[in-house]
Amino acid sequence: MTLSLNSTLKLPNGIILKNRIAKSAMSENMASKNHCANSRFATLYRRWANGGAGLLISGNIMIDSRYLGEPNNIVLEKGRSNEAIREWTRAGTENGTHLWAQLNHPGKQSPKFLSKEPVAPSAIALKAPLDRMFNTPRELTNEEIEEIIERFATAAKLAKDLGFTGVQIHGAHGYLVSQFLSPHHNRRSDKWGGSLENRMRFVVSIYKAIRDAVGLEFPIAIKINSADFQKGGFSQEDSMEVVKVLSELGMDLIEISGGSYESQEMMGTTKKESTRKREAYFADYCEQVRKIVKTPIMLTGGFRSLKGMNEALEQEACDLVGLGRSLVLNPEFPNQLMAGEDVKSEVHFLTTGWKIMDNIFPLEITWYTQQIHRMGKGLDPKPKMSVKASVLYTLISMGVDGLKRVRG
């Protein structure tokens, strides 16, 4: 059968996605002060749902209000009322769309201004210059690890009850699950560290706890690194073994990404020209994984054109195409692609024109976050929005002290 973006996808548990396009997770960073949803989430996700994607995955939803990745994260935990999420999930599931909650714990990647004492598998600091932004973490106790596993399960059950149609475990980009998998970040000598079997025990336990909480028919996915791209870190060989184990356990969808704060492969800035021309950053890895697992694979990173996406599907590099920034700049992109229009992603290189400013300011975060916030207010994105104006706006809204907090 020849696959195209318009083809449906049946997951292992029988759930059917209406097409092969998914919005990958991007942090909205616009929760209310109490870390609850508000009407802007419904406005934003209604726009994306009607844009045509078969699956929308939320930005980071934290499982513990004590440990946040960003100041305006949504939190799902026991004892916290978050009924406003129902408006969000109703809007995000319009048009036959699935909306899944991405569940996360940042581990050591919780900034200094949010966590005086972050936690991690081991007390290993992030390398310079990130050590200026993130405090050295405290090693988790066995009891705390078990509590975090239970928190993932609790958050998943809450997500189901509030109208999300699935959940995704964030196991990539250097957050806590990723930290446990990495021999660089995880130097424990107990059952949670050492061998790969021990290092994957955390994510395996999370999956099993969530499955017990939500049942067999509710989709559970994971976002996992193909590798950390860091010396002594999580390797491709390790990744393939973890993916194989999770697939055999019954994971419904596996999204492949790569890198971390310390090695930002997920942004594509270090990729070879030949890889960029092929568009999919991690396609070679996915083709190898497809030989050893039956679970559907979602590939995110680098897709820019209908041709590139269809080639990835036809060559069986993936089952689902993940798009992120492209949908921020053009929420109608999926509809246009599936109509066969000659449309390309509007993602482009961001620069202020000043190298020093580009190096010290997180342009890829602030500029795209402002676009997301525009859509949350019911406005159209502005692909040609001035990068300098974006920097100025951020400085005015955050102040100099706020910028110091972002940059460390």
The answer, as to whether pTM is greater than 0.75, is yes
Query: Apex CA 221: angle with CA 157 and CA 304, to 5°?
Result: 130
Q: Give me the pLDDT at residue 281, please.
A: 76
Q: In the chain, which segments carry CATH 3.20.20.70? A: 9-344
Unique residue bearing structure tokens 């929760």: 31
Q: Give me the pLDDT at residue 81, please.
A: 85
Q: Give me the pLDDT at residue 280, please.
A: 65
- C-alpha span between 89 and 98 (Å, rounded): 9
- C-alpha span between 68 and 295 (Å, rounded): 31
Burial (CB < 10 A; 0-12, 13-18, 19+), residue 353, is exposed
Phi-psi region of 340 (alpha: psi -120 to 50; beta: other; left: phi over 0): left
Six-digit token pair at 373? 């916030």
Backbone angles phi, psi at 152, to 5 degrees: -60, -45
Element (H, E) at 328: helix 325-329
CATH of domain 9-344: 3.20.20.70
Burial (CB < 10 A; 0-12, 13-18, 19+), residue 44, is buried
Q: Give me the pLDDT at residue 362, please.
A: 81
Q: Which residues in the chain come in under a pLDDT of 70?
A: 1, 228-232, 259-280, 398-408
- C-alpha span between 62 and 102 (Å, rounded): 9
Burial (CB < 10 A; 0-12, 13-18, 19+), residue 77, is middle
Cα separation values, 145 from 59, 62, 224, 233, Å: 23, 16, 19, 21
Burial (CB < 10 A; 0-12, 13-18, 19+), residue 332, is middle
- C-alpha span between 316 and 3 (Å, rounded): 9
Write out pLDDT tens, residues 293-333.
Answer: 999 999 988 899 999 999 999 988 999 999 999 999 999 99
3-state secondary structure (DSSP) of residue 322: strand
Cβ contact 121:140 at 8 Å: yes
239-243: list long-range contacts, CB under 8 Å, 24+ apart.
239/285, 240/288, 240/289, 240/292, 241/196, 241/200, 242/181, 242/196, 242/200, 242/203, 243/289, 243/292, 243/293, 243/295
